Amino acid sequence: MTDCEKFKAVINRNKVKFWEVAAQLGMSPQSLYNKLGNATQFTQGEMAKFRVIFPDVTDAEFNAIFFAAELTAEVK
């Protein structure tokens, strides 16, 4: 599950337009909205591209964006 707010915080911090991120990830803005709404999941390739687009994102922040809810659910 993706944390939409943390994803958007990275975009805002880097002063990049939403549609530009979608294009760099190889998808339409609507597809990116769907993924952020957890209607569909990010692929490994898309997550790898995210790391290239935003190299300042730490491993902890990356995990919080893309995996936190899944990890938390397993611990309970």
| Overall domain count for the chain | 1
Q: Hunting for tokens 């760099």 — which residue is that? A: 24
pTM: 0.83
CA angle 36, 40, 45 (to 5 degrees): 85
Domain coverage including residue 60:
4-75
CATH of the domain at 68: 1.10.260
Q: What is the pLDDT of residues 24-75, one digit of tens each?
A: 999 999 999 999 998 999 999 999 999 999 999 999 999 999 986 654 445 4
Residues in the chain: 76
